[in-house]
Amino acid sequence: MSTTQEVPVTAPQDTSPHTTHAPIPFTRILGVELRKMFDTRSGFWLMASIAILAVIATAATIIFSPSETLTYGNFAGAIGTPMAVILPIVAILSVTSEWSQRSALTTFTLVPNRQRVISAKLLLTVAIGAASMVLALTVGAVGNLIGTAIAGVDPTWEVSVREVAQIILANEIGVLIGFMLGVLLRSSAGAIVGYFVYSLVLPTISGALASTQQWYADNAGWIDLNWTTFQLFDSTLSRTEWTQLGVASTIWLVIPLTVGLILVRRSEVK
């Protein structure tokens, strides 16, 4: 009687080399995201309006302001006012355009790590905000020289380097608020409406509370980010006021942005 011994058969191993692709360089992502901010018609005209409004505000200040008010601070303030509205909208559209134009699926397929894309958008919006403010201050300086020369008065440069830095910081906070709303809501219309609610409605409510509730008036600096940001334009902040700015920024900016980033990373893209 013979026995048959079964020999186990093993599957042949795949010895061919596997190709691994290096991740897309972050600099390339920055370049693509920067180009996407200008590619659309709305994005192009928003960017162009920054320079256009700077020139218009400078010309209006020269034409309509009395000669004694032709100072660098007034020129910079006139230019900075429209900037405070436009730059947050630019930040909003830099994020929400992925969903409104239905390009998020393509973007996050090419770059599966969504955090890299959002980080590139954040870095670009902050950089554009700073560059726009430098442009505004430069145009304001030229306007101050031209305006005072036309009026026949000496140019006044009463804005210090510290005050310029505080003005840039205040506008960057506005840009980051717009970016936060874009990440959190991922809807252009909803985020823009939310920004105007934040910048117009909430300060009104806060002012009404401060005028009727003494406890709120004493502690508004810790809660109202609009109020603490406004202080950057007018005065030298004390240590307590800087702390209030940090606390209010954490409540209204850092925490919502963190929640928005978590939602972006986990949400289904269609």
pTM for the whole thing? 0.84
H helices of 101-113, in order, are 104-110
φ, ψ of residue 73 to 5 degrees: the values are -60, -40
- Round to whole Å and give the CA distance between 269 and 99: 8
> What amino acid is encoded at 50 in this protein?
I
pLDDT tens profile 161-216: 888 888 888 889 999 999 999 999 988 889 999 999 988 888 889 888 888 888 88
What's residue 1's pLDDT?
47
The alpha carbon of 119 is separated from its chain's Cα centroid by a whole number of angstroms, namely: 12
Residue 2 sits at φ, ψ, to 5 deg, of: -105, 150
pLDDT of residue 61: 85
Token look-up 């406890």 returns 215
What residues of the chain score a pLDDT lower than 50? Answer: 1
Q: What are phi and psi of 103, to 5 degrees?
A: -105, 0
